[in-house]
Chains A and B, each alone.
Chain A
């Protein structure tokens, strides 16, 4: 019997246990004069019985599924002929793969009789395993259902038991977030440590030259490339800065206008429209930035002689992958992010403050500027910090619209590169997993994580503090 069949059998068993437990409790209740004489409602007795069945059986099934193959493999390995046991690790795994494919009937290749014998053995072992499992589970189901049935007594605290299980389930789910964070840290930490074993951390953090491409040829003597991450961070900062310059004033003013000035009709139309901007996938923005905005900027600005600037540096030079394009588009993407977060905090400012201000005879803009914004300021700052962290971590727009040349510049018309772009370029495609080049991506990831973590931590603290003010 396959796992899925067994699974269905277990489900049926659980259902039966539930029905049995419930009906028995009802019978008992009938004898004793109503459900009131039971400790718990019949539903709980049923559920308790079902849980008795479900938990052990499902655990058994899961364990079996997890270790089934490796145990069989161990058994096979022990029964290999001596010469087979002397094979190199690679050859052995090749052999085992062949056996596997024969046993599962994927390939009909004719192999050597020994191999065929092993395959046969695997098949018979598997059948045996399945049978044992099936028998165990069915027995367990019957026994546990009976146990659950016997357990139904008027004074038995079924509800309390069920509730404890329920709570454990909830607890497990909530700890997942911690495991995720731990997972993130672990998944970047070890690789990063290895990376810093190859490249000194100071060079990585304070070096101003980034050219990991040099390291492609691992046979090249003494070539570890240049891993100074400063240009990446300045690039990231430049683009984020441009994005924030676009997004913050626009988003903020939009939020203010919508929540304070606009009448209901306008708000009902404009707000969801702007929220569409937030829902558009970043890959679309990237596409837009690379194919529409970047050429447009280039066409518009390239060779332009601005009165003051060109005096110093001559006609403008605009790169086809300018930071400006990516920053602009990122800014547009972040507008709704800023505006809806600010909108929330502005709306959270109690109406009574507005009334108070109007009641003193202030105009609407005075109320906004002198009462509402100061009141909402911590929240708005928090919102902006969250937006910044979003901009820093943004990947697809920059991957699509920004070059890979790491240049240490603050000129928005030049092409720069960002942390996330480098991470993707370093990891995409199949390189050796151990090369400094690949590991550098993890190190970048670690630094990015730490930076955004810091920002978020800061932002969340501010937002939280602000929320408490009116609670």
Chain B
């Protein structure tokens, strides 16, 4: 026996050494696969971000052109500056058009038409209307210089001049191109690229140069508010019940299986639920953050419940035993110990769930939040849209200007999400305790 062992020992080491080289090669290969995978993932991330940033930054800017406009009372059709109705109903586009013709020294129908296409006439009209509303008295019959928006096609083309193939050039004829050239060359008073304030301060619009994200942003905010107010308490309560109170029987098993399944049910199905239950059955108003919030609450609840349960599970049973052991009641154990200790995990879960809700769009599609909503919603029962829906809308719009707005909105959305994630991390850090 011992002799055999001795033989074996010699054999063993020799055999081991013999195979070493092969084994180390396999090791190297395996590591290389891992690194390649990570690189691929990171590459995708970088590519996605550069793509979106390169497209999106343009959306924040716009080309303006300072222009002199003569607010001629006749052309405007104002007879009495104190009459608000008159001021509101005045023909502002006419003065703008006139100014445009002057600017480009356009004559003739054709030329005038070409010239009009270079400037966002309506938008400028609204702008002047805004000024007149407060200051009609002093402005009437004067000449003012304001920054007018160029037409979105012009803007699109201007942003891409120098790019390969100069996309957008095909929108314009010779004359217009010449004018654009001329504007660009002008020493002062020519074209100017500025931050597009309207993008942040106005709602959706049919005109891409006027479209902004404020209404969608507010819609998202209301939606999140509703979702948070409902899902956080309900989620925690459900998690506490399941972990602390529920007896282990068929009934709780059913609840548990249900929750786990709901977490992986496609979100679009929740849209169907919202459509059938909240809209058709209860008759809640369409397209409102309230309904959207309800649907997203149902959708995020499983996430929150699951993460809260995990957090509650992570509270060592010894803590509960300790409290029971000195005569704490179940509710006292739950409220004094379990919930505070599980709070970081619960909050993290909630914030992650809300971040999901913020980026979610498919179920909202089903409950009509894809509608065109130019007004900023004033409450949770006003029709509203949300950021992802706005992006989707703009994406589907054939107008080239919307596409870059969508990119810009994506950047806002992602920033929003990153902030929420940071909040989660911060909350976890803040509330975390050592045992």
A and B found bound together = yes
Interface residues of A (CB under 8 A from B): 159, 162-163, 166-167, 169-178, 180-181, 183-184, 186-188, 191, 249-254, 256-258, 261, 270, 273-274, 276-277, 279-284, 286-288, 290-292, 332, 335-336, 339, 361, 363-366, 368-369, 386, 389-390, 392-396, 399-400, 420, 423-424, 427-428, 441-442, 445, 448-449, 452-453, 455-457, 459-460
In the bound assembly, the distance between CA atoms of A275 and B428 in angstroms comes to: 17
Taking a contact as CB atoms under 8 Å apart, the answer to whether B266 and A395 are in contact is yes
Q: Which 8 A-B pairs have the closest CB atoms?
A: A393-B266, A281-B359, A257-B34, A187-B276, A170-B241, A395-B362, A253-B37, A173-B237
Taking a contact as CB atoms under 8 Å apart, the answer to whether B276 and A249 are in contact is no
* In the complex, chain B residues whose CB is within 8 Å of the CB of A273: 42, 45
* In the complex, chain B residues whose CB is within 8 Å of the CB of A270: 38, 42
* In the complex, chain B residues whose CB is within 8 Å of the CB of A428: 365, 370
Taking a contact as CB atoms under 8 Å apart, the answer to whether A257 and B38 are in contact is yes
B33 in contact (CB, < 8 A): yes
User: What are 19 sample pairs from A and B whose C-beta atoms fall under 8 A apart?
Assistant: A166-B331, A170-B237, A173-B237, A173-B241, A174-B241, A177-B255, A177-B258, A177-B302, A180-B301, A281-B417, A288-B52, A335-B44, A395-B365, A399-B365, A423-B268, A442-B276, A448-B268, A449-B265, A456-B260
Decide: A186 near B276, CB < 8 A? Known: A174-B246, A257-B38, A283-B392.
yes
Taking a contact as CB atoms under 8 Å apart, the answer to whether B273 and A284 are in contact is no
Interface size on B, residues (CB 8 A): 84
Cβ contact of A181, chosen from B235, B261, B389, cutoff 8 A: B261
Decide: A163 near B330, CB < 8 A? Known: A279-B417, A386-B264.
yes
B289 in contact (CB, < 8 A): no
B426 in contact (CB, < 8 A): no
In the bound assembly, the distance between CA atoms of A457 and B361 in angstroms comes to: 25
In the bound assembly, the distance between CA atoms of A290 and B51 in angstroms comes to: 12
* In the complex, chain B residues whose CB is within 8 Å of the CB of A172: 237
Taking a contact as CB atoms under 8 Å apart, the answer to whether B38 and A258 are in contact is yes
* In the complex, chain A residues whose CB is within 8 Å of the CB of B35: 257
* In the complex, chain A residues whose CB is within 8 Å of the CB of B123: none
Decide: A424 near B255, CB < 8 A? Known: A170-B241, A277-B45.
no
B41 in contact (CB, < 8 A): yes
In the bound assembly, the distance between CA atoms of A378 and B327 in angstroms comes to: 42
Interface residues of B (CB under 8 A from A): 16, 23-24, 26-27, 29-31, 33-38, 40-42, 44-45, 48, 51-52, 55, 233-235, 237-242, 245-246, 254-255, 257-262, 264-270, 272-273, 275-277, 298, 301-302, 305, 329-331, 355, 358-362, 365-366, 370, 388-389, 391-392, 395, 403, 406-407, 410, 413-414, 417-418, 421
* In the complex, chain B residues whose CB is within 8 Å of the CB of A177: 238, 255, 258-259, 262, 301-302, 305
Taking a contact as CB atoms under 8 Å apart, the answer to whether B16 and A290 are in contact is no
Min distance, Cβ B43 to any Cβ of chain A, angstroms: 10
In the bound assembly, the distance between CA atoms of A258 and B39 in angstroms comes to: 12
Taking a contact as CB atoms under 8 Å apart, the answer to whether A183 and B277 are in contact is yes
* In the complex, chain B residues whose CB is within 8 Å of the CB of A173: 233-235, 237-238, 241
In the bound assembly, the distance between CA atoms of A449 and B420 in angstroms comes to: 30
- Interface contacts beyond A174-B238, A183-B298: sample of 18 additional A-B pairs, CB < 8 Å, sorted by A: A170-B238, A170-B245, A171-B241, A172-B237, A177-B238, A187-B277, A249-B37, A256-B34, A277-B44, A281-B358, A282-B360, A283-B410, A363-B24, A392-B266, A395-B362, A395-B365, A399-B392, A424-B365
Taking a contact as CB atoms under 8 Å apart, the answer to whether A163 and B417 are in contact is no
In the bound assembly, the distance between CA atoms of A254 and B270 in angstroms comes to: 32
* In the complex, chain A residues whose CB is within 8 Å of the CB of B360: 281-282
Taking a contact as CB atoms under 8 Å apart, the answer to whether A389 and B40 are in contact is no
Taking a contact as CB atoms under 8 Å apart, the answer to whether B329 and A163 are in contact is yes
Taking a contact as CB atoms under 8 Å apart, the answer to whether A279 and B31 are in contact is no
Taking a contact as CB atoms under 8 Å apart, the answer to whether A257 and B41 are in contact is no
Q: For residue A461, which residue of chain B has the nearest CB?
A: B257
In the bound assembly, the distance between CA atoms of A449 and B275 in angstroms comes to: 16
* In the complex, chain B residues whose CB is within 8 Å of the CB of A162: 331
Min distance, Cβ A425 to any Cβ of chain B, angstroms: 10
Min distance, Cβ A90 to any Cβ of chain B, angstroms: 17
Decide: A453 near B261, CB < 8 A? Known: A284-B413, A365-B27, A392-B266.
yes
Taking a contact as CB atoms under 8 Å apart, the answer to whether A183 and B241 are in contact is no
Min distance, Cβ B107 to any Cβ of chain A, angstroms: 41
Interface centre among B16, B42, B266, B389 (most CB of A within 10 A): B266
* In the complex, chain B residues whose CB is within 8 Å of the CB of A339: 41
* In the complex, chain B residues whose CB is within 8 Å of the CB of A281: 358-361, 388, 413-414, 417
Q: For residue B234, which residue of chain A has the nearest CB?
A: A173
Q: For residue B48, which residue of chain A has the nearest CB?
A: A288
Taking a contact as CB atoms under 8 Å apart, the answer to whether B240 and A393 are in contact is no
Taking a contact as CB atoms under 8 Å apart, the answer to whether A394 and B266 are in contact is yes
Taking a contact as CB atoms under 8 Å apart, the answer to whether A456 and B31 are in contact is no
Decide: A184 near B269, CB < 8 A? Known: A281-B413, A369-B30, A400-B395.
yes
* In the complex, chain B residues whose CB is within 8 Å of the CB of A392: 266
Min distance, Cβ A204 to any Cβ of chain B, angstroms: 17
In the bound assembly, the distance between CA atoms of A364 and B28 in angstroms comes to: 10
Taking a contact as CB atoms under 8 Å apart, the answer to whether A361 and B241 are in contact is no
Cβ contact of B273, chosen from A167, A187, A258, A286, cutoff 8 A: A187
Taking a contact as CB atoms under 8 Å apart, the answer to whether B301 and A424 are in contact is no
Q: For residue A365, which residue of chain B has the nearest CB?
A: B30
Decide: A400 near B392, CB < 8 A? Known: A176-B234, A332-B44.
yes
Min distance, Cβ B287 to any Cβ of chain A, angstroms: 12
Min distance, Cβ A262 to any Cβ of chain B, angstroms: 8
Min distance, Cβ B313 to any Cβ of chain A, angstroms: 11
Decide: A449 near B269, CB < 8 A? Known: A173-B238, A174-B238, A428-B370.
yes
Cβ contact of B266, chosen from A170, A292, A452, cutoff 8 A: A452
Cβ contact of B264, chosen from A191, A291, A456, cutoff 8 A: A456
Interface centre among A283, A291, A427 (most CB of B within 10 A): A283
* In the complex, chain B residues whose CB is within 8 Å of the CB of A455: 264
In the bound assembly, the distance between CA atoms of A386 and B362 in angstroms comes to: 19
In the bound assembly, the distance between CA atoms of A175 and B237 in angstroms comes to: 11
* In the complex, chain A residues whose CB is within 8 Å of the CB of B34: 253-254, 256-257, 261
Taking a contact as CB atoms under 8 Å apart, the answer to whether B391 and A287 are in contact is yes
Decide: A279 near B272, CB < 8 A? Known: A420-B362, A460-B257.
no
* In the complex, chain A residues whose CB is within 8 Å of the CB of B241: 167, 170-171, 173-174
Taking a contact as CB atoms under 8 Å apart, the answer to whether B275 and A187 are in contact is yes
Decide: A366 near B38, CB < 8 A? Known: A184-B273, A332-B44.
no
Min distance, Cβ A335 to any Cβ of chain B, angstroms: 5
* In the complex, chain A residues whose CB is within 8 Å of the CB of B331: 159, 162-163, 166-167
Min distance, Cβ A273 to any Cβ of chain B, angstroms: 6
* In the complex, chain B residues whose CB is within 8 Å of the CB of A249: 37
Q: For residue A191, which residue of chain B has the nearest CB?
A: B276
